Amino acid sequence: MNDIMDLNGFVIGHIPFADIVPYLTPFSLALVSTIVVFTVFLALSNPELRSVARFREDTVRTVTVEKKEARFRRFMTILCGISLIGVVTTGDLFNFALFVSLTGITNMGIFAGIKDSHVLDAAFQYGLVMMICTLPLFGGVAITLAKTGTLSLGVLAGMPSNPILNISRTLILVGAVGEGALAPFFATKVEMIRAKGAPYINMMHLSSLMVFTRVIEILFILG
């Protein structure tokens, strides 16, 4: 029921793809600029050189990241940034679900090439949670479509709330929480962050933050 103007301020610009209308407001402009700056920073930076000190030994070893592996992880980071821009600017509920899923997949891709069985185990568990959570995410979107007959956020903003929409809001929240590794599922994320190659891994924190911010806005628009 909340209008987009009330939530985000005036609409700066929009791209009129027939039904899919990505729009930009001062709120989403701030998010987009944060993502762009962060992604450019990560794309230009080199992987870390981690030093490991052994207990009762007088040696310090450094752990390096191979060049090929670092290139793949940088590519996945840039892809994750692009999909995050899609998450925060899209004006279509189904596209939101797709971009959130894409963010999850690219998040997993950042960790895919690491030769550490603990990290890969955690990434695998995260992937399982992600696959399960496509059910509530797309299910919530489909129930919204069945109830209102539209997926455009601009139209949905003018519709009054009702119990069915509240069910779909809950489902969308659960789905986005699973895909972005938010509150109850962050244990896998903590395990994954033990991986080497620091700067690219920070993308996962940013993606969690942006998915959370955007899903709150969508819950306000629907309810």
Partner 1 sequence: MNPLADTVVPTLVPQIFVNFYPIAIVIAIITAVVGLSGLILERNDFQKILIIQIPIFAMYLIVSAVGTDLAEALILPGMVVSLAELLAVSEILIFRELTKREKKGESPRVMNFKYDQIKMEVLKTALPITSVVCVIYGVILTGFTGGAVAGAGILIYLFVGKVGGFSHEFWEEMAGISGVAYVFWLLGFLIYFIAPQYWLIALFMSGGGIIIKVALKFGLLGILGREEYNR
Query: Rounded CA gap, 26 and 165, in Å?
Result: 27
Residue 192 tokens, joined: 């994954």
- What Å distances lie between residue 76 and 27, 72, 148, CA to CA? 26, 6, 36
Q: Is there binding between residue 105 and partner 1 (CB under 8 A)?
A: yes
Site for partner 1 in 152-171 (CB under 8 A): 164
Closer to partner 1 by Cβ: residue 32 or 198: 32
Residue 8 touches partner 1, criterion: CB under 8 A:
no
User: Which is nearer to partner 1, 4 or 133 (by Cβ)?
Assistant: 133
Q: Which residues are CB-neighbours of 88 under 8 A, at least 6 positions away?
A: 28, 31, 32, 35, 210, 213, 214
The stretch near partner 1 (CB under 8 A) out of 33-41, 118-126, 182-190, 204-212 is 118-126
> Rounded CA gap, 214 and 128, in Å?
23
Binding map of partner 1 across residues 120-149, x = CB under 8 A, - = no contact: xx-xx--xx-xxx-xx--xx-xxx-xxxxx
How far is 116 from 156, CA to CA, in rounded Å? Answer: 46
Interface pick for partner 1 out of 116, 155, 212, 219 (rule CB under 8 A): 116
- Interaction pattern, residues 75-104, with partner 1; x per rule: CB under 8 A: -------------------x---x--xx-x
**Among residues 6 and 63, whose Cβ is nearest to partner 1?**
63
Decide: is 5 part of the binding site for partner 1 (CB under 8 A): no
Residue 108 to residues 26, 42, 79, 127, Cα–Cα distance (Å): 30, 17, 12, 7
Structure tokens at 46: 């080199």
17: number of Cβ within 10 Å: 11
Minimal distance in Å, beta carbon 58 to partner 1? 26
User: Which residues in 10-69 contact partner 1 (CB under 8 A)?
Assistant: 13-16
Q: Are 86 and 99 in contact (CB under 8 A)?
A: yes
Check residue 187 for interaction with partner 1 (CB under 8 A): no
- 172 touches 218 (CB < 8 A): yes
Q: Which is nearer to partner 1, 87 or 123 (CB)?
A: 123
Name, in order, each residue with C-beta under 8 angstroms of 55's C-beta and a sequence gap of 6 or more.
Answer: none
Q: Which is nearer to partner 1, 6 or 158 (CB)?
A: 158
Q: Which residues bind partner 1 (CB under 8 A)?
A: 13-16, 94, 98, 101-102, 104-105, 108-109, 111-113, 115-117, 120-121, 123-124, 127-128, 130-132, 134-135, 138-139, 141-143, 145-149, 151, 164
